Amino acid sequence: MKFVFRVDASFEIGSGHTMRCLTLADVLKDRGHDCEFIVREQPGHLIALIEAKGYFVHALPLPESVTATPDEHAHSHWLPGGQQQDSEDTLAVLQPNECDWLVVDHYGVGAPWETLVRKVCRHVLVIDDLADRAHQCDILLDQNMGRRADDYDKLVPQECVRLIGPQYALLRPEFANWREKSLSRRRQRTELRQLLISLGGVDKDNVTGDVLDALEACALSDSVTMTVVLGQQNPWLEKIQQQAASSRFKVTVKQGVSNMAELMSQADVAIGAAGSTSWERCCLGLPTIMLVLAENQKEVARYLTELGAAISVKISSEDSDCLAVKLDKLQDENFLRGLVDVSSRLIDGKGAERVLGRLE
């Protein structure tokens, strides 16, 4: 079958939508299916990355003049030109009857766009996190903790199949492959020696730098080693490298890594954003201090904190001791072990396989 993905990345959108679509595409490709992408050329796009993974990309140029469109929903501005313009551009790319599945992962897209475009596609899968707008689709995937199927009662057709919850989280196979080794290591060692810092693919406000500054003021032993992972789009590499060089800790800075599961498995604690990487960390039982970097991360952070699967913190100049207090809690072996046990029970890393079973 032929699958076409409509997804964007940019300095504002980030990379998470594209990365989870690539995860699903890789699983589909391994099963012999054909996958292509339709991507708008916004600053910070990931077209080169998608092509490097072997997929054909239909690049949509930015409209020459972007007319302001009514605010249909909170993320309408993520779609330059609006849904009408984007649907026309997408239809110009798609060939009638050649698309078995259209996969849409875009907060700027909703039912008006999907109604027009699905005429040339046999089926539509929508990946969403917000439940804030109507969709015209055959399958709706929302992998978020705390989401319920009835949240979409008035937003999708009655016959739409709803895949709801983190059991459908789209994780790369490497996380399932590293899961047992990671959990086994945590059963044997609960000390904080290796800290992993990863705050998303873009981190446009350089929260990573703020975290490094806050860590310098914490009562952590100088023997703790740190690995900072930056996304390929991160514009702060040079500044972060300068901070790492002057740190009292041994800090290694990496950018655009391809072995994230291995790095997570080697870490004792992570400081990370409460986005899609939350599920990767849970799969590996990695105790995490979460930071909310976007509005759509608040619910994930709240549920994981309430369940005892992670702890959250706000980095601010007004509360510079907050991170130190959270790190101090992680010196308690029983508390640390509890985070490992609860988080690892939430995700088994096989979500992409479950979604695949619904598509074939």
- Phi and psi at residue 259, to the nearest 5°: -125, 45
C-alpha atoms less than 13 angstroms from C-alpha of 40 in its C-beta half-sphere: 28
20 known member of a binding site: no
Token output for 162: 């709803």
Q: Check residue 277 and give left, alpha or beta (phi > 0: left; psi -120 to 50: alpha).
A: alpha
The active-site residue out of 17, 45, 75, 106 is 17
Tokens 């498995």 sit at which residue?
265
Token output for 49: 């990355």
Closest CA to 253 of 15, 174, 284, 245: 245
Helix, strand or coil for residue 226?
strand
Rounded-to-integer distance, Cα 108 and Cα 58, Å: 18
Cα angle 274, 342, 338 (rounded to 5 degrees) comes to: 105
Closest CA to 342 of 201, 212, 130, 166: 166
- Phi and psi at residue 306, to the nearest 5°: -65, -35
Rounded-to-integer distance, Cα 190 and Cα 337, Å: 7
Q: What is the dihedral of CA 346, 350, 356, 357, to 10 degrees?
A: -80
139-142 and 269-273 strand pairing: unpaired
Question: What DSSP string runs through 255-286?
Answer: ES-S-HHHHHHH-SEEEEESSTHHHHHHHTT-
Whether 59 and 39 have beta carbons less than 8 Å apart is answered as yes
Residues 6 or more apart whose CB falls under 8 angstroms from that of 144 comprise: 129, 165, 166, 299, 300
Whether 260 and 236 have beta carbons less than 8 Å apart is answered as no
33 belongs to the catalytic site: no
6 known member of a binding site: no
Binding residues for substrate are 172, 280
- The residues annotated with a catalytic role in the active site are 17
Binding residues are 172, 280
